Structure 1
Amino acid sequence: MIKNKIKAIKIGFLIVCILPTISQALDKEDILKYLVKSSYPEVKVIDKEDKDNKEDEDNSKSTDNIKSNTNNIDGKEYVNVYVGEENKPEQKETKESKETSNIIDSNYTNDIRVTKDKPQMLIYHTHSSETYSDSPKNNYHSTDIEHSVMSVGSILSTELSEKGWGVVHTTKYNDLSYNDAYATSAKTMKSILSKYNSIKVSIDLHRDGQSVSTAQAKKAVHDKYTTKINGETVAKFFLVVGQRNQNVGELKKQAEEITALAEKKYPGLVSPVVPKQYGRFNQYMADNGLLIEIGNNATSTKEAQATCKYLAEILDEYYSDIK
């Protein structure tokens, strides 16, 4: 009761004292933008200018800022605010995109590859259309599968398989309706986990996003988020932990342990764990739910793919007791 009264007083104070001041300087769209940012600090809000949907110059540090979620009464977990034209995925997969891929090949049936009976790992992509800097479409979200996180996922599944793991890798597009991406990937996960109850580790594989509005910025981001291992340039990776998962303690513990192991084996390859206050990111759906970001929109597909052999070695060692 006391908490409710305090909350009511705060809301009254906001309405009476703050909003009138803000509204004098802001139009209706700006007020809405302010309220959204205040309510959902993970959300990156983009202004709509005329019909162009141009990207807001206030780019966030990471595209995880557009992976915002919260609970509401109708059961839709995720709240998303559209982020700019260049981040908009194409509305449908083209036949050509699959046919031109040398990586997503005949090993996949109905967009799924299973490398071994009773697989122990699942690799999927909530933001399946995330592409890297060398995508010829020059669009960081597109169905250019050859230069996307799905091609990186295919390499990672092969590397893990060669270490004895059974892996399910799905190349289903979960983000063609971008605001429904996490709800769609949850359905994808549920379908696969119900079929393969042997799965013990799930990996939602992404690539990070940085502000690369100029060639100089792009080079600076590239140099900061790549490293050399055995003379080869590879993209750095990091893990994200959604703080609203019921098993957040275990998720955080394993993310930090994997990060520590990676830093010990390959110094400079991994960045610190990124906690997300309002996030769940479907990590609650598996005992070992990982969200891994490999590279970003300033690194190349090849550099992200090169990371996979080292990441596979790290995951193989960390999860050796459940193989």
Structure 2
Amino acid sequence: MVMFKLERKCVKVAGVVVCSCKFNANMSLYKGYLFDPGIQCSIPSKDVKVVFLTHGHMDHCSGAALLSGRARIYAPRHCVAFIERPQVLHTITMGGGAVPENLITPYFIGSSVFVDELVVEGCVADGVYAIATPGHTPGHHSYIVETEYGRVLIAGDLLFSSDYLERYPLLYHMDTVALLDSLEKIGRADIDAIVPGHGMPVEGSRAVNNIIKENIHAVNNMLRFVEDILPNTQEEALSFDEVIAEAAKRLDLSENPRTYSVLSPTIRALLFALLRLGRAALVVVNGVPRWYAEKRSCR
């Protein structure tokens, strides 16, 4: 099971061809199955019978519009609204209203796609199994593809390559606890190779275990990052937007008008995870929730 280069942006891992699209998002092809065709991909329309989408972000699904009517488009049930109407995702991300695109991360801007079939956990095609992996988005699914060389996980944005984690210390997601649970779930699966949502695939049991552990570690680092922003006393408690402002400052993102569309759901997910874990508390002042770290855990 040797991975080798096909062309500048494509590799082959355990029989699955993986090509990098815009934002280093991975599109995968195995026989007649195409997974996550995103933005500015070279879509291999010949012989593609089925397109499987992991979730409803445009960097992972927008390219499927080029195959609409020629291939069947499969997507998780709870992602369909975002895939067919990207503006719905923009509204939810920003908390309501008709949101101008210049305030939205370009990862969420692309062509709408009509979905033919709904994906639920289990066998979805010959040798292809869907596995529910919520966290990045509530409806996120990954796919295990059985090839002649082994079992390959098409992860979507459940996890990312090591170099991607280093470049982006605070990665978008909507439910931190669910994300950690999904990573633990994948860790118990029988997998020979992983295609992450962004970055290079990995192959072999050691590399598979390492990338899962690295992603769990990265999520825990995100929790600590937000926890360190919170004041220790209720009197100094910060509003949600004040936490975002401080996070943007520490990440040197304060001048980017699109920052809020990424940080808003991510910081919210991390705050509520800290609350659930007993590492943060909130108090409502004049109708506005304010956050603080009442007790610091030993680290």
Higher relative contact order (CA 8 A, sep 6+): 1
Q: Assess same fold via TM > 0.5.
A: no
Q: Which of the two has greater helix per residue?
A: 1
TM-score by structure 2 length?
0.29
In proportion to residue count, which structure has more strand?
A: 2
**TM-score (ref. length: structure 1):** 0.28
Q: Whose Rg is larger?
A: 1
